[in-house]
A and B are shown apart, each in its own frame.
Chain A
Amino acid sequence: MGCSSSLPDRSSGQLAGLNSENGGVSDAKNLRVKLVLLGDSGVGKSCIVLRFVRGQFDPTSKVTVGASFLSQTIALQDSTTVKFEIWDTAGQERYAALAPLYYRGAAVAVVVYDITSPESFAKAQYWVKELQKHGNPDIVMALVGNKADLNEKREVPVQDGIDYAEKNGMFFIETSAKTADNINQLFEEIAKRLPRPASS
């Protein structure tokens, strides 16, 4: 399990500096991308990240404050690696005004909603519009319907997610941080869609 957390991330510390703000691409074989997660409070953004980065799921709710930073590197089949530098933002309303701080310069935005909550789907659409207006124009966007394990309580039909994503040129996937369903796929798909720097 590739669970290198962001904590012992000492080696890259010196590099991190401000260039990470530019969504820094390092070289053709080893990509470094800034990824931001947005979405209503409680949809499971932190759970998705912790599942991806540490392979864990903790059902106790830990409302994010401000934003958390984690990183994870994955290897693709074509022997390139992608290091995700992830900003897991707080969905609480009081932090909404700070979102630009975290999505500015991001190469990837993952907009998450909870398939059992139409309000969270509406909030996801709000974020998509905000990103279209103020985000990096080349940003790769993914729409994620989380808590797919709660299918019996579903209130947002899969098709609604697919349609909305298609209309907005986004990649769409339903995930479950609880069962780990589609979590790695989400990040692999994103990695595949990243614009590759022209190799020198």
Chain B
Amino acid sequence: MSSDSSSTSGDEFTNPNPNPNSTSKPLEDQFASAALTQPNNEPPEIQESPNGVVNGSVGENNHGEVESNEREGEVGSNLEARQSVRWRRTNSEVEVEAPSSPSSSGYAGERGSSSGSGSSGGFDMIGGGIGGGDDDEIQEVSNVDSIQDSQASWMPGKRHVDEDDASLSWRKRKKHFFILSNSGKPIYSRYGDEHKLAGFSATLQAIISFVENGGDRVKLVRAGNHQVVFLVKGPIYLVCISCTEEPYESLRGQLELIYGQMLLILTKSVNRCFEKNPKFDMTPLLGGTDVVFSSLIHSFSWNPATFLHAYTCLPLAYATRQAAGAILQDVADSGVLFAILMCKHKVISLVGAQKASLHPDDMLLLANFVMSSESFRTSESFSPICLPRYNPMAFLYAYVHYLDVDTYLMLLTTSSDAFYHLKDCRIRIEMVLLKSNVLSEVQRSMLDGGMHVEDLPTDPLPRSGTLSPHLGQPRDSLESFKEPFVGIGGPAGLWHLCTVVYFWINMYLLSSHHQLIAHVNRKDYIGLTRTFMLPCMI
């Protein structure tokens, strides 16, 4: 009898008892402290390791690396003697007594044999060759259309399951993501079969605990073109190994989102499983969720919401959005915690019960979960989900229903018995949306392809001129980004917001050092979004 599998987790996930105010605090605190420790470009605590700690793939040098271009998949592998390993630490100014070579610290044996890349054990860097044409790289995106292309051509699901850390192809992947437990058990790997990566996971775990045993925390290891970013969340470790040249902060933010996605599926109460049994194998609990993670990871390369901590709104006429908002509000007043109407990843309207506020990251994770789980499309569903920024400890219940191919309604509640009530709410909402033509307006807006950069006026005040077919606003060029901004209300404010956001998105996507993003004027942004009833928290 295989009842054991289901009973192990039996009591862990039954507590539908959210207490957002008290329990969500710790996570917020963590985020706050994460923000405080964000390092500068050039951290003082860099140590050049004279003999090159990383031993992988010596000899596959690409001397043309000055010209190297990650978009073309030509990241050079200059894992030569002059490479440095940088240990960035959280709480000490002291130079790290970086291990002269991890292989000397005894965990090299965990790894399987090395393949043709000439590694000599120890912590082999992944890659070190010319990356194969991968799907996750930041494309040169000059307009919204190509973003959409990259969405359309991407197929969800895990690929390359046959690979493991001994495969050359696996090592050449440009961006790996791992989730593992603090006992070194693999939980998720972007590429390859988790179970085959047990040795590699153990190595990652060894690095983390080696530093932790010294009373410190490892955040980033730089080795040649590769960055290894670590994030520790209680018993869960998250690691990104990347040669995409994204800054540390971005990669760390991506790990935070991956962790949030995991919480959305399981809540933080999984931690208790590890308290009971440190060797607990979590992979069965995430069964069938590969697509959820792979589509989130894919969205890092096309969806600006993943780094802006703001969500994308579907452009709609004021009256249309009002109509949608009114009926959602009606429903929220009847005891629904959040009522969210979305089209793909874009928000049509969103209403929360009094005092409840939905963090844009939670929205992103929820939308990603719903869109990547095909079964929601077949019929109306009722599923437990956790909003990590709202309350990471408890499940909410989500009623999900697709109103048409791309448009879906999510009604969240704390009550596990509310299905029939939510179903009634949906029927009411659907009727109103059909009557007031909201759904057809939504489809039209989607066909228009959302907002285009050229729709944005240079002048905050609408003026006469050619009207854009999309927004009924004058078209103009993009010259005047530097123009001072006058006031935050009305359409002018919205244009300014869009302008700023799109400008920075484009800058972000085009720049190789994506630091520019940090310069968005946060005050403007928050003020504006408040004005427009669609809160964005940064």
Contact = CB atoms under 8 A, between A and B. Distances in A.
B142 interface: no
Given A94-B265, A96-B6, A98-B14, A14 B424 contact: yes
Interface residues of A, number: 41
A66 interface: yes
Interface in B1-50: 1-3, 5-7, 9-14
Highest count of chain A CB atoms <10 Å: which of B3, B6, B10, B431? B6
A96 B3 CA distance: 10
Nearest to A86: B379
**Chain B interface secondary structure, helix, strand, loop or mixed?**
helix
B408 to A, nearest CB: 13
Given A7-B379, A63-B288, A98-B384, A126 B420 contact: no
Contacts of A90: 383
A8 B424 CA distance: 12
A90 B285 CA distance: 12
B355 to A, nearest CB: 26
Given A6-B380, A69-B382, A125-B1, A94 B420 contact: no
A40 B284 CA distance: 13
Nearest to B383: A66
B375 A93 contact: no
Contacts, number: 116
B2 A64 contact: no
B158 to A, nearest CB: 13
A69 to B, nearest CB: 5
A50 B375 CA distance: 11
A70 B427 CA distance: 14
Nearest to A20: B420
B378 interface: yes
Nearest to B431: A10
A41 B9 CA distance: 16
Contacts of A13: 423-424, 427
B380 A62 contact: no
A63 B373 contact: yes
B116 interface: no
Interface string A92-115: 111111100100000000000000
A16 to B, nearest CB: 5
Given A6-B380, A14-B424, A97-B13, A119 B375 contact: no
A97 B9 contact: yes
B424 A98 contact: no
Nearest to B288: A63
A98 B13 contact: yes
B423 A65 contact: no
B381 interface: yes
B373 A65 contact: yes
A122 interface: yes
A18 B382 contact: no
Interface of A: 5-7, 10, 13-14, 16-18, 20-21, 40-41, 46, 50, 60, 62-70, 88, 90, 92-98, 101, 119, 122-123, 125-126, 129
Given A62-B378, A64-B381, A126-B1, 14 more contacts: A7-B379, A13-B424, A18-B421, A46-B375, A62-B375, A63-B373, A68-B379, A69-B380, A90-B383, A94-B266, A97-B13, A97-B14, A101-B417, A123-B2
Q: Which 9 A-B pairs have the closest CB atoms?
A: A66-B383, A96-B6, A63-B288, A126-B3, A62-B374, A13-B427, A62-B375, A68-B379, A122-B2
